[in-house]
Amino acid sequence: HRSAAQLTYHGLVQMHEKLGESELCVFFRNNHFSTLTKVDGQLYLLATDLGYVSEREVVWERLNQIDGD
């Protein structure tokens, strides 16, 4: 099953399994590079969207769904 967000459930599971705790990596999805890390078993992307520009406390957004919501 292909998703519009270019991430599958299998891919999300693999990232959880392969990425070590507190490791950083480059994540490429939807023609965009992001910084990805894992903290306390959860995956987080560095928030770089312009929608967050006025949100001073938002630095990381959790990646826990394949549709990007």
For residue 42, what are the β-bridge partners?
39
pLDDT at 13 (0 to 100): 94
List all residues 6 or more positions away from 38 whose beta carbon is below 8 Å from its beta carbon.
16, 19, 20, 21, 22, 23, 44
Task: Give dist(CA 21, CA 23) in Å, integer.
Answer: 5
pLDDT at 6 (0 to 100): 79
pLDDT at 5 (0 to 100): 62
List all residues 6 or more positions away from 39 whose beta carbon is below 8 Å from its beta carbon.
21, 22
Per residue in 2-49, pLDDT tens? Answer: 555 678 899 999 999 999 999 999 999 888 899 999 999 999 999 888
Alpha helical stretches, state H, 1-69: 9-18
